[in-house]
Amino acid sequence: MNHQEQARLQRARAFDRAELATIYDEYSPLLYRYIYRQVGEVETARDVTAQVFERFLQTLRQGHGPDQQLKAWLYRTAHNLVIDHYRRQQHRQHLPLDEALVDAADDPVSRAETRLTAADLRSALQQLTPDQQQVIALKFLGQLSNAEVAAVLDKPVGAVKSLQHRALAALQRQLVPLEETV
Amino acid sequence: MKSSFIDILDQALEQRHTEQPVSLPPGDDPAQTETLAALLQTAAALDRLQPVELPSPESREADRAAFLAQLDQLPRPQAVSASPLERLKGWLVHHLPNQLPSLSYQRKEQVSMFPLMIKAALAFTLIFGSMGGTAVLAANSLPDSPLYPLKMTLEQARLGLADAPADQAALHLAFAQERTQEMEQLALRGGSLEEAGFTALQRHLNAAFSLAAELPETAMLGLLSQTQQMVQSQTELLTQAQSEISGPQLASLQQASQLLNQVGQEAEAGLQDPLAFRLRHGPAAPVGPPLSPATVTPTPPVTPPGPCQDADCQPAGDQNQNQHQNQHQNGPRSTITPATTRPGPCDGDGCEPAGDKNQHQNGPRASVSPAATQTGSCDGDDCEPAGNQNQDQNQNRNGPQSTVTPAATQTGACDGDDCDQLPDQDQDRDRDRDQSQDQDRDQSQDHDPEQDQDRDQDQTQDQDRDQDQSQDHDPEQDRDRDQDQDGSGSGPADDSGNDENGGEANEDSGNDDSANDSGGSDRGNSDSGGDTDNDSSTGSDSSGGDNSNGGGGDSGGSGGGGGKK
C-alpha cells in the first residue's frame, strides 16, 4: 500500500469530511455498476450502494475498517451485501442479469441479440461456481484488475487467473450450443 | 503448459481493449489458438453487457447528500488521554523528582514523544513480537520459503507438547492435511514439488494410523472418521489443482491423490474392522515401508520379506482376503510396497513356490523365476509360503503379495518376520491346508482346492499348467475351483476384482466446476466466497465394504469383488 493510500485511510479514520466525500465520489459509481449487474434493478442497486458506504462509516466509527486496500474492502462488502439482499429476497440465482440491458448500439436487431445473449448469459452464469461468478462480475463487469480481484476474493493472483480461465471455459461450453441455435 | 495458456489468456484479455493484436507464443498449438479465440469471444459477449442503467443525476446527488448527512450525524472519535507511559512518566517526575533525576532532566531540545513511542513499540515488537510474527509467517510458508524449516520445527514442537496419543494422532492428521495443501499451493504457483513433501505426507499418515491403532475403539473410530473427512477434502483440493497444472507437478499431485485414496480406503477398512486395523497398524505390526499409493513413479527397489521358518507361516500371502483386500488395492497393509518384491526364502513345510498367474495384474512377483515354480519343496529366494490364490489376485494388483510381511502369527508359532496373524477361520483353513500338505503334494494325483490355490501361486503359469496337466487340472478349473471354495462364485473377479484405479473415479467427479450451483447467498457473509466445487466430489470413500469384513468370514477368495472405487 503506497503512502497516499495510507494517508487517505488515516484521514478517513479521522472522519475527515472532505476525504470521505472524495472516497464516495470515486467509488460509488464503480460499486453501483458492480452491484447493478448483480441485482438488475436501479433502486436496489442504489440501496445496496448506500448500504456499502453506511457500513464503511460504521466500521470507521468502531475503529475498524480497511487497513490496506480500500477498494478491495468496498467490493467485498458490496458482494456480501448483495448476498444478503438475495437472502432476504430468497433468490437462488447468484448473478442474475437484467434482460433489459441496453446494448451500446441502439439497433433493434442488436438489442434483440443482446437480450437473447443476456438471458443466455444469465443462465450460463448460474451454472458457474460462486467464485467463478464473482471473478466474472469483478473482472468483466466491474472492470477490476487481477490484483484487485485477488484482494477482494482473498486469493492469489494465480488463482484468480485460473478461475477466470475456468469461468470463461465453462461459459463458452454453455453458450456454444445456444449460439448454434440462434 | 496449462499455466502458460492461462497467462496467455489473461494477457489476451488485457489486450482486447487496446489496438495491440493478441500475440501468441511462437510455435503455438493451433488447437490452443482456437481455444483462445473461443474464450475471447465469450469475453466479448460479456463486454457487450457492460452498459448499465444509471440513476438520474438528481438521484445521484440525493444519494451523495444522504451519505454526507449520515457522516455528519455520526459522533466523531473522541480524543484520548495521554498514553499510560506518558502518564507514568509524569507521575514519577512529579512525585520523585530527586530519585529519578533523569526523568526530570530538561533536554535542550524538545523531543517529540510520538516518534519515541514508535521506537519503543518497534523495539518491543522486535524483541517479543518477531518470534510470534515470524511464527505466523512461517505457518503459512511453503516448502520453497526460507521460513519453512521454522514451520517444521514448530510442528515438531507441537507434537512434542502433545502428551496424549490421540492428540498426537490428530496433529499428524492435521500436518498431513497441511502437507497436501502445501503441495497444492506450490503446484498452482508453478513451484517444484520435492519428494520430501510427499514423504512427509506419508510419514504423517502412517504415524496417525499407528497412533490410532493404539487408541481405545471410540477414539480410534473417531480419528478414522476424521481421516476420511480429511482425505475427502484434500482429494477434492488436489483434483481441482490437477485440472490447472501439467508437467511434473501433475504427476506429484496424482501420486499424492493416490496415497490419499489408499489412506481413505484404509480408514474405511478400519472403521468396518477395527481389529484388523489394529493388527495392521498397531505395535505388533512389523516395521516396513509406509503406506504408499499405486505408483506413479518408477518401481521402487525390491525388498524381500524375511524368512519364514515355521510350517504354519504364510509370509507372502494373506489368508484373510477380506482383511487385506483393501490394503492391497494400492499397496497392501502398511508393510507393503507397491513395487514388485521378492519373497524371502521359505524353507518351511508350508512353503510354496511363489507365482500366480492371476496375480500379476500390475505387478508381477518379479522375483519368481520360472525355474522356481517347481512344486514340492522350495528353498530358494523365489519361494513363497502358502497363500491364497484369490488373495494374491487382489493383493498383487498394485503390489505383489510377496512383499507382504504379516503382522502376527496365524496359528501356532510363527516367528518369521513375515508371519501373519489371521482370524481363526483362516487359521483353521491354513492349519488344515498345512496339515494336508507335504513336499509332494503338488505332485500328487489327487488334488484338492487348497492345493490348487497353493499351486496357482506359482508365478509361471505354463510351468504350473504343465505340472498340473499330469494331474488333470487346468488354470481355469483352478480359478473356478478357488472361487467355488470361497463360495463367491464370482468368476471374473479374479482378474477384474478390485478397482485399483478406484481413486481416479473420484478425481473426475469433482472437476467440473460448471456443474455446481452453490447459490452465492448460501455462503453468507464470507468475504472470500470460497469455491464450492468440492460439493460434488465424491471423495475417496471406499465402497468396497465387502472387502473389509473383519470377521474374515470366508475370505479365501471372494474374487476381489470389492466394489472399490
* Model pLDDT for residues B450-483, shown as the tens digit of each residue: 555 555 555 555 555 555 444 444 545 545 454 4
User: How high does pLDDT run on average in chain A?
Assistant: 79
Rounded Cα–Cα distance for residues B343 and B332 (Å)? 14
Q: Could you tell me what percent of chain B has a pLDDT over 70?
A: 42
Contact map slice: A 116-135 vs B, CB within 8 A: 117-118, 121, 126-134
Is 0.80 surpassed by the pTM of this model?
no
Task: Please check the confidence at residue B139 and state whether its pLDDT lies above 90.
Answer: no
Nearest-by-Cβ selection for B521 from A94, A98, A103: A94
pLDDT score recorded for residue B394: 42
Q: Which of A46, A15, A55 is nearest to B58 (CA)?
A: A46
Least confident of A4-8, B45-49, B54-58, B291-295: B291-295
**Residue B457 near residue B353 (C-beta atoms within 8 A):** yes
Q: Provide mean pLDDT across the span B62-71.
A: 92
Chain A residues touching B48 at Cβ < 8 A? 103-104, 114, 117
**Residue A125 near residue A133 (C-beta atoms within 8 A):** yes
**Residue B116 near residue B83 (C-beta atoms within 8 A):** no
Nearest-by-Cβ selection for B528 from A86, A154, A169: A154
User: How high does pLDDT run on average in chain B?
Assistant: 64
Q: Which of B364, B485, B475 is nearest to B426 (CA)?
A: B485
**Residue A94 near residue A39 (C-beta atoms within 8 A):** no
Give the tens place of pLDDT for each residue, B280-332.
888 766 655 556 555 444 445 555 555 545 554 444 444 444 444 444 444 44
Residue of chain A whose alpha carbon sits nearest to that of B510: A129
CA distance B59 to chain A (A): 9
Give the Cβ contact number of residue B316 at 10 Å. 36
Chain B residues touching A162 at Cβ < 8 A? 6, 188, 244
Give the tens place of pLDDT for each residue, B165-222.
999 999 999 999 999 999 888 888 888 888 888 899 999 999 999 999 989 989 999 9
Least confident of A5-19, A138-152, B92-106, B373-387: B373-387
Contact map slice: B 77-96 vs A, CB within 8 A: 77
pLDDT score recorded for residue B83: 65
At residue B283, what is the residue type?
P
pLDDT score recorded for residue B99: 67
pLDDT band at residue B95 using 50, 70 and 90 as cut-offs: confident
CA distance B561 to chain A (A): 37
The stretches of B366-522 forming alpha helices (DSSP H) are 389-395, 424-436, 449-455, 461-469, 475-486, 503-509
pLDDT score recorded for residue A164: 92
Which residue has better confidence, B220 or B337? B220
Cα first-last separation, chain A: 48
